[in-house]
Amino acid sequence: MAKSNRCDVLLSAEACKANLMAVGDALYAIGGKWKLRIIVALKTGSKRFNELQRSIEGISAKALAAELKDLELNGFVHRRVFTGTPVIVSYALTEYAGTLGDVLDALSAWGMMHRETIKKGMRKK
């Protein structure tokens, strides 16, 4: 027999649908390969574009630019332009991005646990 999921057991159909929609909204805002990595990289303070790209292994300039635009539109990142010679653009987290603190901590802890679980499984083989 298939194991029941949380929606089947604990929530009404309406509450389950609302829960799934909320998770979908969250994944839309912070999902994907790079968004959370960018947020984590900016936790130490504002960075210029190239600094940010160097701190996130494997991200292309095109992908970084697109993700920064999305993060700015969703209120997680603030883009500051300093006019002068040369023009300097830096990116920093907004206060709103701080609301992801518990989510990031939980994901980090789970990621470490998962990595160890996979390593242990590979050692047994």
Residues 46-78 pLDDT 10s: 999 999 999 999 999 999 999 999 999 999 999
Other beta carbons within 10 angstroms of residue 15's beta carbon come to: 11
Per-residue CA distances from 109 to 77, 106, 112, 115 (Å): 24, 5, 5, 10
Nearest to 46 by CA among 66, 61, 23, 68: 68
Question: What does the alpha-carbon distance between residue 52 and residue 42 come to, in Å, rounded to a whole number?
Answer: 8
Beta sheet of 47-48, edge-to-edge order? 47-48, 88-93, 77-82
Q: Residue 1: pLDDT above 70? A: no
Residue 10: the pLDDT is 63
Residue 11: the pLDDT is 67
Tens-digit pLDDT profile for residues 64-118: 999 999 999 999 999 999 998 999 999 999 999 999 999 999 999 999 999 999 9
Q: Residue 5: pLDDT above 80? A: no
Highest mean pLDDT among 13-22, 25-34, 81-90, 91-100: 91-100
